[in-house]
Amino acid sequence: MVEKGRKLITRREFIRIAGITATSLAANTLPAASPTKNTAPPSQQLLSSTGKAPRPWWVKSVEKPTVEIDWDQLQRFDSRKTMRSSGFAAFIGQDEYDHLLRVAEESEKQRIINHTPGYTLKDQALNAAQGLGARGARSFLGPQNAQTPHERGVAPWSGSPEEASRMLRVAMRHFGAATIGFVELNEQTRKLIYTHDPDGKELVFQDTDQASETATRRIIPNKAKWAIVYTVQMSIETVKRAPTAIAEQTTLLSYSRGRDIQEKTQEFLRGLGYQCLGEATSNALAIAPALGVMAGLGELSRLNRMITPEFGPMVRMFKMITDLPLVPDQPIDAGIFDFCKSCKKCAEACPSSALSLSDEPSWETEGPWSNPGHKAFFENSVNCRTYMTEKAGTNCSICFAVCPFSKKNKVWLHSWIKAGVAKLPFLDGFLRSMDDAFSYGAQKDPEQWWWQNLPEYGIDTEQTLRED
Amino acid sequence: MDNDDYRLIRFMRRPWYEWAAWLLWVFLEILFAQAAIASSKEFEPRAATLFWLMFGVLLLGGITSYIIRRDRLL
């Protein structure tokens, strides 16, 4: 109908047009008539044949990691020099170490008596219970219980490295791993394997068919050329109670789950006819953040742990070595290491001043507990460990809690901010200020944690299924 | 023109940049509201409060702007 030279639309015409539009849109979303191999909804589809989950568009794969590495200078490192194991007592002296332990024990008792929030009897009991799982026995060679193909009278599994990678990723996700990456052990990346495990056994590469273990050595066959590195989520909501016992127990829970995933993966690969060499004790075998960075799970950061695009630093990392041929992954650049240069929130919040406040990373280490050969924000691990033992009575984790990347992903804006960090580095300073203004790093009430309706393990296991 | 069979919907003429500004306003309101609601679900009360504040200020600003422009144009 035309009125005064303008075409008017009738109600009937409008409804007709709307119906045609809606039908066209609906038809385009219907699945294809013929069945395909992969019919999962787009958000749950595996992006590649190697089983890698979709990643946000602003995470790009790169040839070299964002942390500079001098592979000629880098050497294999002795894990006994780190502050996690016997290294701490070696650096400060056994007498001082014993003194700190006595102080810690007395402080723990006093906090229970004083009903200090986060350190009450129920908090400590929860922490101790989680610790049982975390410190449980684990094995370099694996439980060795699963039936091998030979025992079944069949041939070992065979397939392409792509198929193997997808199969292993899916299996490990089902075991509970958050993200999984693979690194091929070549002349350079072998340097990320420790010389000695925390229990003192030497890790030796040999031209042999089967891995083995003696009283003093763990033998890794040269043909075991693929490192499997994986993350286990920690509960962001729980770590935000750092440095209390409430926060520590989510770390221990992650170690417990990591150990469980290792055992199951070892048995899974044994069942396929392959070897899988795991951590014999906690934090053994290799430098976890280094392998994680090389596998593209995240980037190195100011707090000297790996920060992931998905979970920030709220993960614990574990590794294994296998002779199942896998497709190696590449490092990533998501603007994280760059953001750390201007942010410094973890270093400013660190109560022991252990973290570096430098504007730029350095080749110079702070002490023999760090492995030279990469350009990083090296920390004073003695200060860190002393504070943990003497003052916090826990593994602290304040740096994890205040990190701006420690975010859940329900708020759309957080995803776009991460994209901004990756693509618009001139906004880094402003974004750090906004993080402060919105109080994201502030410690939360430990007692309130016992009233919160959190998911199982306190984590969102669907976080990586939702694309940013 | 209104009669039994037809209704007339009239849009006030506005320059393109004004339509763009209103679109941006709607977009920001949705963004802030979503952030406020999601922050509450994430147990971040201070962030939720700030986002609701931003939502409210922008809402008042939008209403005020609409009323002023409507009165000027009439």
Question: Within 10 A of A48 (CB to CB), how many other CB atoms are there?
Answer: 13
Domain boundaries, chain B: 16-73
Provide the shortest C-alpha distance from residue B35 to chain A (in Å).
Answer: 5
Report the alpha-carbon distance of residue A40 to residue A114 in Å, rounded.
54
The pLDDT of residue A11 is 81
Lowest-confidence segment of A250-254, A399-403, B67-71 by average pLDDT? B67-71
Q: What is the pLDDT of chain A when averaged over all its residues? A: 91
Mean pLDDT, residues A439-450 taken together = 91
Q: Comparing A42-56, A166-180, A350-364, which segment has the lowest mean pLDDT?
A: A42-56
Across the interface, whether the CB atoms of B38 and A410 are under 8 A apart is answered yes
Taking the Cβ of residue B44 and every Cβ of chain A, the question of whether any pair is shorter than 8 Å is answered with yes
Judge whether A182 and A468 are in contact, CB under 8 Å.
Answer: no
Residue type, B4: D
Residue B47 has its nearest CB partner, among A11, A440, A444, at A440
Lowest mean pLDDT among A43-47, A51-55, A146-150: A43-47
DSSP state of A299: E
Mean local confidence (pLDDT), B27-43:
95
Sheet holding A202-206, edge to edge: A202-206, A217-221, A212-213
Asked if the model's pLDDT at residue A259 lies above 70, the reply is: yes
Q: What is the pLDDT of residue A301?
A: 97
The model's confidence at residue B11, banded by pLDDT at 50, 70 and 90, is: confident
pLDDT digits (tens, 9 = 90+) for A68-91: 999 999 999 999 999 876 789 889
d(CA A107, CA A127): 16
The identity of residue A452, as a single letter, is Q
Q: Which chain A residues contact residue B44 at CB under 8 A?
A: 438-440
Contact A285, A279 (CB under 8 A): yes
What is the residue-wise DSSP string for A393-453?
A: SS---HHHHH-TT---S-SHHHHHHHHHHHH-GGGHHHHHHHHHHTTTTSPPPTGGGGG--
Evaluate if residue A336 carries a pLDDT over 70. yes
Percent of chain A with pLDDT over 90: 79
Q: Interface pTM (ipTM) of the complex? A: 0.82
pTM for this one? 0.88
* pLDDT at residue B2 greater than cutoff 90: no
pLDDT at A2: 53
Closest-approach residue (CA) in chain A for B50: A438
B33–A contact, CB cutoff 8 A:
no
pLDDT higher than threshold 60 for residue A3:
no
User: Which of A406, A399, A429, A415 has the alpha carbon at shortest distance from A339?
Assistant: A429
Residues of B in contact with A438 (CB under 8 A): 44, 46-47, 50
User: Is the confidence at residue A391, as pLDDT, over 60?
Assistant: yes
Q: Do A413 and B31 touch (CB under 8 A)?
A: yes
Please tell me if residue B34 touches chain A, with a CB cutoff of 8 Å: yes
Nearest CA in chain A to B47: A438
Query: Does B39 touch chain A if contact means CB atoms closer than 8 Å?
Result: yes
The pLDDT, as a whole number, for residue A86 is: 75
Asked whether the predicted pLDDT for residue A409 surpasses 60, the reply is yes
At residue A468, the pLDDT reads: 41
Q: Once rounded to an integer, what is the mean pLDDT over residues B25-44?
A: 95
Tell me if A95 sits within 8 A of A345, measured CB to CB. Answer: no
Q: Would you say residue A30 has pLDDT above 90?
A: no
Element (H, E) at A204: strand A202-206
- Cβ(A149)–Cβ(A157) below 8 Å: yes
Q: Which residue has the higher pLDDT, A220 or A464?
A: A220
Please tell me the predicted confidence (pLDDT) of residue A467: 45
Is a pLDDT exceeding 70 seen at residue A39? no
Tell me whether residues B38 and A412 touch, CB distance under 8 A: yes
State how far the Cα of A93 lies from the Cα of A250, in Å rounded to an integer.
30
* Mean pLDDT confidence for A349-373: 95
Which pLDDT score is estimated for B13?
81
Q: Bigger pLDDT: A465 or A450? A: A450
Q: What is the pLDDT of residue A240?
A: 95
Confidence (pLDDT) at A35: 40
Q: Encoding tokens for residue A225?
A: 């050329």
Give the integer Cα–Cα distance in Å for A113 and B5. Answer: 81
Q: Is residue B7 predicted with pLDDT exceeding 90?
A: no
The DSSP code for A459 is S
Is a pLDDT exceeding 60 seen at residue A440? Answer: yes
